[in-house]
Amino acid sequence: MVAKKPEQYYGLKEISDFAKEEGIEYSTRELSVYKSRNKLPDPVVMIGKKAGWTKKQIDDWIAQIKLKEKHKNKSQK
């Protein structure tokens, strides 16, 4: 039997870091506000008051942000 690798979860700091790698600047404070306004995906885990997301959720959210920015830039031209 092959042991399944445990899922890794990421918090607001990591989301900020991943976004920065894609050229999108969000502070953890901004992301906290986004979370409270339901502008982030629902976290898959809560550990106390800390939310956790999968890498796929984060990547999908960043891709949506980039797509919105692309459309916004096109409409401004």
More confident residue, 24 or 7: 24
Report how far residue 31's alpha carbon sits from residue 9's, in angstroms, rounded to the nearest whole number: 16
pLDDT digits 0-9 by tens, 35-69: 999 999 999 999 999 999 999 999 999 999 999 88
Reference 19, options 72, 76, 74, 57; nearest CA is 57
Three-state SS string over the chain comes to: CCCCCCCCCECHHHHHHHHHHCCCCCCHHHHHHHHHCCCCCCCCEEECCEEEECHHHHHHHHHHHHHHHHHHHHHHC
